[in-house]
Structure 1
Amino acid sequence: MRYREELAKLAKVQGRPFRIAMVGAGQMGRGFANQSHRMGLEVAVVIDISADRINQTYQDIGRELPLISSDAAELNALISQGKPCGAQDIDLVPLLDVDVVVEATGVAEIGAKVIYNALRAKKHVATLNVECDVTVGPILRDTAIENDVIYAVCHGDEPIEAKELVDFALDLSFEIICAGKGKNNPFEPHSNPDTVAERAAKKNMNPKMLASFTDGSKTMIEMAALANATGLKLSQRAMIGPKTSVKELSETYALKEDGGVLSEAGVVDYCTGDVAPGVFVVVRTDSPYVSEEMSYLSMGKGPYFAIYRPYHLASVEAPLTVAKMLVDKRSSFVSGTRMSEVIASTKRAHKAGERFDAIGGFSARGVADRVEDAKRENLVPIGLLQGAVAKRDLPIDHLVTYEDVDLDETQTIYQLRVIQDKAGL
């Protein structure tokens, strides 16, 4: 209730609701729009290549059909009058009179372009695009600081909810052993939009989104983002991913000498089993009394204990990030030291001259890796791979190197990554 009340107070002072430009009206964007207006945040303009999706978003929230325009002045006039409007050109986003840009496309290149240009136009940006953040998050963070605005990855996805548990545990002075999530989709490393099409239709999902879940890319990206935001390491390349249960978390994620799966403490990993769709942190304490209390409270047998959140609400809780921006003037989740990279493994053989498609497509899946290992082997981040052309024949299950492909150097995400790497971020 606190954020709803504070947003209402601030809106009353400024004489209008806070205005959002939402980019991307797919599954995540629609969820965000449906929830945010109930919190006193106005979806003032929706940008999407599909007019139907723009119209559907406003229909969802009970508003009249928008005027879709390609003219920034006309859009701003509509925004100032509180009339719904839309656009199909992302280049208009920096020109719009809004308080916050919410980027919800899930496409790394589009995310990079929208976020970077909006930050430079001195607009706060909240994104549901973790794919973009794991690739160029540090340069976006620094761009926000330079322009005195806030950049954040949204609540609702597992990385931020797991980080909340990590912060909670650190505030209580626990040692972090492992943080992570449960994976609830079967791991099918070579799955693609065609192989999951029937399941996607039953779930009313975009097949590319579902394929990014089943081929493991989404889990790898989310856990890499968690590592980068917390300073925790990856357990190993691609992580361990053991099968376990909520009751067994504290035993599974113990050090090997204590019967668990971990070679070292302070890592990120995922698991299968009934932990999904939740997130967790396994901790340890050096206090005998605190250990006794934690055992009494059914947090584990000791010396390891599991703190568990049994859910994440995806786009439904994403508006909390915007509320924190406007009320608390802070980012709920942002990249810190880069601990992890998400590299690419081919899902099929490629002939020289063939072009790679996007995450969740037919070409490659993401594999989380420690930054130092990815650098040593000269491996390409999957966020840069869309549009790349194979320079030679590549077999299936091949980790793609910079020598293997010609990247699309015209893309914003590529250009930002060059700047980021040169700056050592």
Structure 2
Amino acid sequence: MNLYRMLRQRAQAGRPVTVGLIGAGKFGTMFLAQARQTPGLHVLGVADTNPKSAHGALSEGGFTPDRLADGFDAARRDGTTAVVEDADRLIAADGLDVVVEATGNPAAGIRHARACVAHGRHLVNVNVEADALCGPLLAREFSQAGLVYSLAYGDQPAIICELVDWARACGLPVIAAGKGTKYLETFHLSTPDTVWDLYGIARETAERAGMNAQMFNSFIDGTKSGIEMAAVANACDLGVPPDGLAFPPCSVDDLAHVLRPPEVGGRLHHAGQVEVVSSLERDGRPIDRDLRWGVYVTFAAPSNYTRACFREYGLVTDVSGTYSALYRPYHLIGLELGISVASAALRGEPTGAPETFRGDVVAVAKRDLKAGERLDGEGGYCVWGRLMPAEDSLASGALPIGLAHGLTLTQDVPQGTAVPRAAVQLDLTDCAVAARAEMERAFAPQQVAR
């Protein structure tokens, strides 16, 4: 509750927290819009391989031409912002405190994260794709260097981590944690050609807002849900259902009823797991008071006295009065990202960070794939990402979704089956492939039994 006070103190002392943004997409633009309004924050620079995109994002975020600098020296001196194409130049800039990585590219995210360690920068990792691929390894490298590696507040995983932390710090056992989304089973087959109809937005509106069809398709086809729940499972040490996310239909009023253990009639596989709820019934009917844009945690009363307090203070519970839920109906994406930046720089604390390797996300064929076809990664035409327990993923030899881009199949893969690693030729010298192998060696031995 002290971040604003601490930011004002830094502003008054003339020592704002300096932050560099890598990736000037929608998330980054939303952050820029609020960073300009936040005392004690100074956006030192923005790096994007397309400088036109970076200048467009700054303009959308309210940065007028007089607030842009020719280089980092001028930016530091005048409190202005520089634009560069080379992210490594930004990371190495003198006086930089925190880097926000918002490219969405796993390989780029890993390279940038390790550059941050080399230059002593805290990292707020919007790139949850990189986190799902080898986040536990990256977080450990930052910790060993005395730096903060953080999930991005405003994105759902970090806000879920906050709810889980709240429950546990209150002494309330966490039964389930997760988010809402719009889901039907057929959505797993969605492609960038069908995404806007399923998402519920006009193509022209999406294009005018600069929304990337393949990226947004990963939200519809279930991939992003899997990636985000892997991040939560690994950050909060929560279990993963063996058959993947079930996406049960559920309103906010039914969270405590649906997301409780199976032995008392709930839809969970077991207590203490991640799960995503759908805003649609299985026949496509919309659910009243859905949680499509929100997050939740369900928890249990550990005693009869606590159960009585639930009742006395009006908590919505299941019929037994034992299980209840706390939820947040919205998340504000990049508009809230400054919370992570301030927390890392001023408190030395992440807003969620992976500590274990509980969940993994594997590439599953959307259609019958033939040898010789080239995979196009998350949200594309070929595969979607299914959440699995990490030990099951490793035992099956499945290809992580974060590596499923630009690889050519060497064998057929039937629709609905996980792509085997043996069906592609991995470049062992690639930084993402090498980091993933290192992460598995370091963390997989912990996964002995469920």
TM-score range, shorter chain: over 0.9
Structure 1 regions of 5+ residues with no counterpart?
none
> Which residue of the partner structure matches residue 52 of structure 2?
52
Query: How much has 1:31 moved relative to structure 2?
Result: 0.5
> Which residue of the partner structure matches residue 206 of structure 1?
212
Structure 2 regions of 5+ residues with no counterpart?
280-289, 445-450
Q: Do 1:93 and 1:118's aligned partners in 2 also have CA atoms closer than 8 Å?
A: no
> Which residue of the partner structure matches residue 103 of structure 1?
101
Q: Do 1:239 and 1:270's aligned partners in 2 also have CA atoms closer than 8 Å?
A: yes
* TM alignment of 1:137-286, pairs within 5 A: 137-184=135-182, 188-196=187-195, 199=201, 200-203=203-206, 204=209, 205-273=211-279, 274-286=290-302
Query: How much has 1:220 moved relative to structure 2?
Result: 0.8
- Further displaced range: 241-250 or 288-297: 288-297
Q: 1:219–1:12: structure 2 CA closer, same or farther, 3 Å change rule?
A: same
Distance in 1 (CA, whole Å) between partners of 2:98 and 2:392 is: 37
Distance in 1 (CA, whole Å) between partners of 2:214 and 2:26 is: 12
> Which residue of the partner structure matches residue 398 of structure 1?
417
Distance in 2 (CA, whole Å) between partners of 1:424 and 1:242 is: 31
Q: Do 1:120 and 1:143's aligned partners in 2 also have CA atoms closer than 8 Å?
A: no
Distance in 1 (CA, whole Å) between partners of 2:90 and 2:205 is: 34
For 1:275, the aligned partner's letter is L
Is 2:434 aligned against 1:415? yes
Query: How much has 1:44 moved relative to structure 2?
Result: 1.6
Distance in 2 (CA, whole Å) between partners of 1:6 and 1:409 is: 45
Deviations 1:255-308 (A, max 9, x none): 223222123211111111202212111111231121122123132141211122
- Further displaced range: 279-288 or 410-419: 410-419
Q: 1:209–1:56: structure 2 CA closer, same or farther, 3 Å change rule?
A: same
Distance in 1 (CA, whole Å) between partners of 2:414 and 2:337 is: 39
For 1:234, what is the secondary structure of its paired residue?
Answer: coil
> Which residue of the partner structure matches residue 285 of structure 2?
none
- Further displaced range: 36-45 or 367-376: 36-45
The two structures have a TM-score, normalised by structure 2, of 0.88
Q: 1:410–1:93: structure 2 CA closer, same or farther, 3 Å change rule?
A: farther
Distance in 2 (CA, whole Å) between partners of 1:7 and 1:66 is: 21
Q: Do 1:181 and 1:279's aligned partners in 2 also have CA atoms closer than 8 Å?
A: yes
Query: How much has 1:78 moved relative to structure 2?
Result: 4.0
> Which residue of the partner structure matches residue 288 of structure 1?
304
Distance in 1 (CA, whole Å) between partners of 2:233 and 2:43 is: 32
Q: Do 1:29 and 1:104's aligned partners in 2 also have CA atoms closer than 8 Å?
A: yes
The match for 1:319 among 338, 354, 361 is 338
Distance in 2 (CA, whole Å) between partners of 1:409 and 1:9 is: 48
Identity among equivalent positions (%) equals 32
* TM alignment of 1:106-145, pairs within 5 A: 106-145=104-143
The two structures have a TM-score, normalised by structure 1, of 0.93
Query: How much has 1:389 moved relative to structure 2?
Result: 1.9
Distance in 1 (CA, whole Å) between partners of 2:98 and 2:135 is: 18
For 1:61, the aligned partner's letter is G
Query: How much has 1:34 moved relative to structure 2?
Result: 0.8
> Which residue of the partner structure matches residue 31 of structure 2?
32
Q: 1:6–1:189: structure 2 CA closer, same or farther, 3 Å change rule?
A: same
Query: How much has 1:62 moved relative to structure 2?
Result: 3.0
Deviations 1:144-170 (A, max 9, x none): 122221111110111111121111111
Query: How much has 1:408 moved relative to structure 2?
Result: 3.6
For 2:315, the aligned partner's letter is S
* TM alignment of 1:342-421, pairs within 5 A: 342-421=361-440
Query: How much has 1:120 moved relative to structure 2?
Result: 1.9
Distance in 2 (CA, whole Å) between partners of 1:422 and 1:338 is: 11
> Which residue of the partner structure matches residue 316 of structure 2?
299
Q: Do 1:388 and 1:408's aligned partners in 2 also have CA atoms closer than 8 Å?
A: no
Q: Do 1:282 and 1:306's aligned partners in 2 also have CA atoms closer than 8 Å?
A: yes
> Which residue of the partner structure matches residue 6 of structure 1?
6
Deviations 1:46-101 (A, max 9, x none): 111222211122223232178797xxxx5445444433321112332332221111
Query: How much has 1:105 moved relative to structure 2?
Result: 1.1
Q: Do 1:112 and 1:412's aligned partners in 2 also have CA atoms closer than 8 Å?
A: yes
Query: How much has 1:395 moved relative to structure 2?
Result: 2.5
Deviations 1:5-48 (A, max 9, x none): 311312444x3422211000010000011112211311121111
> Which residue of the partner structure matches residue 91 of structure 1?
88
Distance in 1 (CA, whole Å) between partners of 2:375 and 2:53 is: 27
Q: 1:313–1:349: structure 2 CA closer, same or farther, 3 Å change rule?
A: same
Query: How much has 1:186 moved relative to structure 2?
Result: 5.3
Query: How much has 1:349 moved relative to structure 2?
Result: 3.1
> Which residue of the partner structure matches residue 284 of structure 2?
none
Q: 1:179–1:36: structure 2 CA closer, same or farther, 3 Å change rule?
A: same
Query: How much has 1:328 moved relative to structure 2?
Result: 1.1
Deviations 1:313-354 (A, max 9, x none): 111111100111122111111001111101110223333232
- Further displaced range: 231-240 or 404-413: 404-413
Distance in 2 (CA, whole Å) between partners of 1:144 and 1:263 is: 34
For 1:383, what is the secondary structure of its paired residue?
Answer: helix
Distance in 2 (CA, whole Å) between partners of 1:255 and 1:16 is: 50
For 1:192, what is the secondary structure of its paired residue?
Answer: coil
Q: Do 1:58 and 1:65's aligned partners in 2 also have CA atoms closer than 8 Å?
A: no
Q: Do 1:45 and 1:84's aligned partners in 2 also have CA atoms closer than 8 Å?
A: yes
Distance in 1 (CA, whole Å) between partners of 2:76 and 2:400 is: 38
For 1:365, the aligned partner's letter is W
For 1:38, what is the secondary structure of its paired residue?
Answer: coil
Distance in 1 (CA, whole Å) between partners of 2:17 and 2:325 is: 39
Query: How much has 1:410 moved relative to structure 2?
Result: 4.0
Q: Do 2:176 and 2:297's aligned partners in 1 also have CA atoms closer than 8 Å?
A: yes
Query: How much has 1:359 moved relative to structure 2?
Result: 1.2
Q: Do 2:377 and 2:403's aligned partners in 1 also have CA atoms closer than 8 Å?
A: no
For 1:233, what is the secondary structure of its paired residue?
Answer: coil
